[in-house]
Amino acid sequence: MEKSVLKSRQRKAFSLLELMIVITIMAVLAAASIPSYIKYIQRATLAEAVSILGDYRLALGIFWNVGDKLPATGDVLTGTPADLPFGIDVTTNLPDTIESIKLTGVGNGVLISLVVDANIFSTYPSNNRRIYLGAKISDNRLVFACGNLSTDAAVPTDFGFIDRSVLPKNCNYNGVNDWLLN
């Protein structure tokens, strides 16, 4: 009877080898999943930014329908999360994922520039954390384009997102500035 009690008491913990194997497996899984998780967070942040641009798209449509014009100097575009005075960088009352937003005139229309916060995109310089919403009047209706400002957004000095794969499909137009100038 005493031998069976000793046998059951001998094996109550994992061996060092078993613990090392489990820790190694967990480290490999973590190393493989962290880049995917970061990309997921980046895409979610950009989806929120595009959603905010969608609110301003609606506000631009209302502004155009009411005033029969696009915003210009002295106008304020009422929208969420903050009102946009024409030509002024707005940095307050914005979600944590948004650094700033600005409404300006370009070519035949207006441009809303949204800068995504650096915490999520620490590897991107500030000029490559921008999403643009352009609006212009074409055939007596308001049309929009969302995406990169430059047609060559693969160059780090260009404005927009270098890695277009992180941009949502509904905001992946390359060359909003050229589109506004035509």
The CATH number assigned to the domain holding 75 equals 3.30.700.10
CA dist., res. 39 & res. 76, Å (int): 35
The total of structural domains in the chain comes to 1
Taking 60 as the threshold, does the pLDDT of residue 5 lie above it?
no
| Interacting residues of 161 by C-beta distance below 8 A, sequence separation 6+ | 46, 124, 128, 129, 130, 131, 148, 153, 167
Is the residue at 5 inside a domain? no
Is the residue at 51 inside a domain? yes
CA dist., res. 55 & res. 60, Å (int): 9
% of the chain exceeding 70 in pLDDT: 91
Give tens-digit pLDDT for 46-76.
Answer: 888 889 999 999 999 999 999 889 999 999 9
Is the residue at 4 inside a domain? no
The pLDDT confidence band at residue 121, using thresholds 50, 70 and 90, is confident
Mark out the alpha helices in 2-15 (DSSP H runs). 2-10
Dihedral angle at the C-alpha atoms of 175, 179, 181, 182, nearest 10 degrees? 140
Q: Kindly report the average pLDDT of the chain as a whole number.
A: 85
> Of the given ranges (56-60, 88-92, 151-155), which has the lowest mean pLDDT?
151-155
Is the residue at 176 inside a domain? yes
Is the residue at 1 inside a domain? no
Is the residue at 10 inside a domain? no
- Mean pLDDT for 101-112 is 92
Question: Which pLDDT score, from 0 to 100, does residue 97 have?
Answer: 87
Which of helix, strand or coil describes residue 2?
Answer: helix
Which structural domain, as residue segments, surrounds residue 130? 15-181
Question: Which pLDDT score, from 0 to 100, does residue 129 have?
Answer: 85
